[in-house]
Amino acid sequence: MFEPDPAQAPHAELPQAAAAQARQAPRLAWARHADEVREAQRLRWKVFVDELQARVASPQPGYDIDIFDPYCDHLLARDAEGRLIGTYRVLPPHQARRVGGLYAETEFDLTRLLHLRPRLLELGRACVHRDHRTGAVIMALWAGLADYMRQHQLQAMIGCSSVSMRDGGHYAASLWARLREGYLAPVEDRVQPRLALPVDSLRQDLPAQAPALLKGYLRVGARICGAPAWDPDFNTADFPLLMRLDDVRPRYARHFLERA
């Protein structure tokens, strides 16, 4: 669940015509063929590599491709002109079995979540074009995910929310120190990072605020499953998140689940 903070590209900085367009609700659809998946992979490359300077081990430069993509469903958000402006990919349980596991297992030991596996959806590779990072795009994508959960009778979703380590990790460590006091999942839903952020050697006293997307997940009802992992390729601290549909707060359940 990786997404640059939408606040980095506020509406006010867009040209007037682009701002009016960004306010329109995006059109959602699931990728139906390989060309549409390629569009998503191209957008991911533009955001992760061109913009955020991540090191992506892709077999084709210009496209963020990995072994999980063929097993995932890809949610696409388009603007009024049909241009792709946002995407998520989701890995349903039966496809996770086919590919041999979840992407999150490359960063975390998920042993304690075995009881959820038959109805657990993994979210990943979320990104939004820099000119369209508004709450409206994220909310539309989340509505599409809620619809998918309902249609496939899934119980919970898992993913990671990434926080930049451009300051060496002090901000992320301080954020972890703050969030673990009020947003930690119960012990039966805890996971362990394979390469942990070395929080004990970092400052933990900074006045850190959660990035907009992570804040949104927690507001809806997600919980942090354990200490963040360090992702050297993306230079991020990845916070593991789990959200059970039963834990979605009522106001958001009415918005997403009842309309799904």
Partners of 31 in beta bridges = none
Residue position matching structure tokens 């084709």: 60
Q: Does residue 137 have a pLDDT over 60? A: yes
Residue position matching structure tokens 């850190």: 208
Interatomic CA distance for residues 31 and 23, integer angstroms: 23
Q: What is the pLDDT of residues 31-63, one digit of tens each?
A: 999 999 999 999 999 999 999 899 998 999 999
With respect to CATH, is domain 6-257 assigned 3.40.190.10?
A: no
Single out the residue of 20, 14, 252 nearest to residue 138, CA to CA: 252
Classify burial at 187, counting beta carbons within 10 Å of its beta carbon; exposed 0-12, middle 13-18, buried 19 or more: exposed
Domains of the chain, residue spans: 6-257
pLDDT, average across residues 125-148: 92
Interatomic CA distance for residues 60 and 5, integer angstroms: 27
164: left (phi over 0), alpha (psi -120 to 50) or beta: beta
Phi, psi of 113 (to 5 degrees): -100, 10
Interatomic CA distance for residues 83 and 20, integer angstroms: 15
Q: What is the pLDDT of residues 70-96, one digit of tens each?
A: 999 999 999 999 999 999 999 999 999
Q: What is the reported pLDDT for 14? A: 39
pLDDT category of residue 6 using cuts at 50, 70 and 90: very low
Output the pTM of the full model. Answer: 0.88
Share the mean pLDDT of the chain: 89
Q: What is the reported pLDDT for 17? A: 45
Q: Does residue 65 have a pLDDT over 90? A: yes
Tokens for 90? 């989701």
DSSP, collapsed to helix, strand or coil, labels residue 140 as helix
pLDDT, average across residues 210-224: 92
- Does residue 127 or residue 251 have the better pLDDT? 127
Interatomic CA distance for residues 148 and 131, integer angstroms: 26
Do the bridges between strand 120-128 and strand 108-109 make them parallel or antiparallel, or are there none, so unpaired?
unpaired
Interatomic CA distance for residues 84 and 1, integer angstroms: 18
